[in-house]
Amino acid sequence: MVEYQLPKLATGVRFPSLAIVFCLILAGCATAPYQPPVIRAVPGLTGGVYHEVQKGDTLWRIAKTYDIDLSYIIKMNNISDATKISPGDRLFIPGAKEPLKVTTDKISLFEKDYFIWPLQGDIISFFGENAYGAKNKGIDIRARRGTKVFAAKKGEVVYAGERFSGQGNIIVIDHHDGFFTVYSRNSENLVKTGEIVDHNKAIALAGSTGRGETAYLHFEIRKYGKPQNPLYYLP
């Protein structure tokens, strides 16, 4: 049940400049291999400390607490599966001067940057899994048809439509910080292009339009157009 790449959006649909780049990256054949982003060392970043993972910690919260790009923690610790991060694990944080505790106070400082789950359900296909000759660029979350889908973060709806066969209704949200989220296979969209939505606002209803009968949400997080593993960012 892995989604193919989302097709190129039709001409005549207006988007902010970053969204245009995002949509062009989505274009292409369903079997095109996914190319992961190149990660380079941070200039001048030296030293570091070990952070002991506590209950409630996520990679995203840890990265924000230490004010470091999430990708560097993933690279330095050779993390391939965010679901395997558990209390008691020790993660090396490059450039940090001392161990810090991820607290509620710290989290509230970057609450506007935080992602939430668009709906609750079992993950039936993970980021990077192979199917139909392509790799999943997000995650697929099982849902009952008609279940509300929520915006994972505040942003602007830059696309809401149903132009593409097999994808159902699609919503793309620009979060105006380099991040976009994509929600597809919706049975119904509840927002329109141009709307500003807060995080946790109902934006769609889950559906089973397209291949197969199982209802699920295909959800993506993209940073400057590059697919990210959503499990690195979700609480």
What secondary structure does DSSP assign to 62-122, as a single string?
Answer: HHHHHT--HHHHHHHTT---GGG--TT-EEEEET-SS-----HHHHHHTGGG----SS---
* Residue 67, pLDDT score: 86
Q: Where are the domains of the chain?
A: 17-35+115-232, 48-113
Q: What's the pTM value of the predicted model, to 2 decimals? A: 0.67
For 17-35+115-232, CATH number out of 2.70.70.10, 3.20.190.10, 3.40.1160.10, 3.30.1360.10 equals 2.70.70.10
Q: What is the pLDDT of residues 90-108, one digit of tens each?
A: 999 999 999 998 876 655 5
Vertex 115: Cα angle to 226 and 57 (nearest 5): 105
As a CATH number, domain 48-113 is: 3.10.350.10
pLDDT tens readout for residues 208-232 = 755 556 789 999 999 888 998 898 8
**pLDDT tens sequence across 114-164:** 788 999 998 888 888 876 567 889 999 999 989 999 999 999 999 999 766
The amino acid sitting at 207 is G
